[in-house]
Each structure stands twice: as C-alpha cells, then as structure tokens.
A = this chain, B = another copy of it.
C-alpha cells in the first residue's frame, strides 16, 4: 500500500533530472523551447508520480483561480436549479469551477458571502441580488470586479445584467386571460417593494388590462406577506372578491397555494376561475388541470450569464457592460381555457 504523500513540482523536477522551471513550462504547454526527450521524460515522471499541480500555489502567483462564485437567494425553486445547471455547464466547458452559496434573501448574509468569495480570489460572481445592498453592488462595479447581475435589475447600477422581460411576461399572462373571456383578473405576487421582478410582472399585467380597455378600477392585486400565510391570504381575498374569474400568479410556489385555496373554496378551474402561473415547472403539465404558464428560459439564463461573466474575466481591456434580455413564452394549457 502506498502512503499518500503530496508530490510537488520539485519532486517531479528531481526525478526527471531537470529544474522546476522546465517542468512548469512543459506542464503549461510552453513546449516551444524544449527537447522532445525532455518533454517526454518529464511527462513520464508526471504520470508515474501522479503529480497534480496545486491550484492554490498557482493561483497565488497568477491571482487567478478559475473559479466563479454564484450567490443565489433561494434553494427552493426549480427555476434556480435550471439556472444553476446552465451555469455549471458553461463552467465545465470553459474550465472553471463553481462556488455556490445561498443568501436566502438576507442582505447581511449576501454581503458576507460576497466578501468571502473575494477573499478566495474568485475570478468573478453571478448574483441574484437581494436588492438591499446597493452600496456593496456599487463598490463591486467601481472596483471592476467581474460580475453579472441576474434575474433582477438594480436601478442605476452599471453592471452586466441578464434578465427576462417580466413586463412582457405579465402582459402575456393577463392578456391571455382576457382573451379567454375572463373579466375580473387578480394578480398575486410577493410583497416586496424593491424587487424589479414582481414590480414588472405586475406592470405588464396592468398594461394588458389597460390596452384591453379596462381602467385602474379593474386592477385586483394581492400581495402575499410570505409563503406560510399565502394560503390563508388567498382564501380570504377570494372570499371577499367573489367576482374574480381569472388569476395571474407571478410565482410558481404561490400557484400551488392558489390551487390549494381554490380547491378548498370549491371553485372550479377553469370553468369558474382561469389560472396562469409563472415558470413552466416540471409539474405544470401534470397537475389538475394542466397549468397554463409563462415559461422562462432558465437554463439559457444560467448559461449566458456564466458566458458573459467569463468573457469579462478573460478580456483584458474594459468590456462594455452588456444587458441580455430573454423573452418569456406563454404555454397554454387547460387551466386558462376559454369560458364558453
């Protein structure tokens, strides 16, 4: 049995009878000035000794780690896993590794994690911002720390941004319900004044109503305090507003609660209430009735975000800030079927 001993470049050099420099050069593909024999022996010794470069030492010299970090605000939503898969795939393709953490929506935690990433000399970060850390984000920008802000907009922040057109998404949802004969459409969203995602989806909803000739009097908006009270809030709202015949849910967790609430109240979908949800989750088409959703290209968002970040990391010159806006898509199913 071989006792595990860490083998360094010096061991390789010694055994191969050359200098560390030579080994380093060969390992890094600077073949140009080396004898074929030297190359061969060195490579052979590397194999024999199972030498693996120490990334720490390498990084210390070059101040590059080939690691990017991602700060998510939530591990409970399928959407983020698809994003993550995209990010991970890009990392694999580009030779990066991925550090991940979960701010859980807490700005303090977010700040701490970002600082840890920086201490670890992570080459750049992808972040779904809590939006409560404006000064921190600003600092990252002025420090020219490679960064991509994802899924949310931070007002006034001059940073790479990858988002989906949420106004459009909201518009499509509400418009679809109107087209299918609904007249009193409720929009359900999380209560959070600062998050562009929710604001925009609601804005789109409002625009759809207006462009269909309705007025502000026809806006029905329910803001959920948090997921735990969602069910209760929704039931109460629907009881107080029995005219509601269509619901646009801006979040897939809330959609599940909505369905639950409707079932409890014995309101039939779609005959009495039509539903459009957000995010075409894996279960959307399997629930009863199959759910009409606004689909977001989560995987591509992740993929492009990481690509954008790595592009910025690699480019020596100043890269211009880039703004990628993906388009949502309506997937029509039974839950929003036309009222006969």
Contacts and interface: CB of A to CB of B under 8 A. Distances in A.
A157 interface: no
Interface in A141-164: 142-145
A116 to B, nearest CB: 6
Interface string A100-118: 1110000001000001111
Contact of A288 (B97, B118, B288): B288
Contacts of A76: 81, 85, 282
A52 B282 CA distance: 43
B97 A99 contact: yes
A56 B100 CA distance: 18
A229 interface: no
- Which residue, A59, A144, A286, A288, has most C-beta atoms of chain B within 10 A? A286
A153 B307 CA distance: 36
Interface string A25-62: 00000000000000000000000000011111101100
A186 to B, nearest CB: 19
Interface size class of chain A, counting residues whose CB lies under 8 Å from the partner chain: 35 or more
Contact of A60 (B57, B63, B100): B57
Nearest to A263: B286
A221 to B, nearest CB: 24
Interface of A: 1-2, 4, 6, 52-57, 59-60, 63, 65, 67, 75-76, 78, 81-82, 84-85, 88, 91-92, 97-102, 109, 115-121, 142-145, 253, 256, 259-260, 281-283, 286-288
Given A6-B63, A78-B81, A91-B101, 18 more contacts: A55-B120, A56-B56, A56-B121, A57-B60, A75-B81, A75-B82, A75-B85, A76-B85, A81-B81, A92-B102, A92-B109, A97-B101, A98-B99, A100-B100, A256-B283, A256-B286, A286-B287, A287-B288
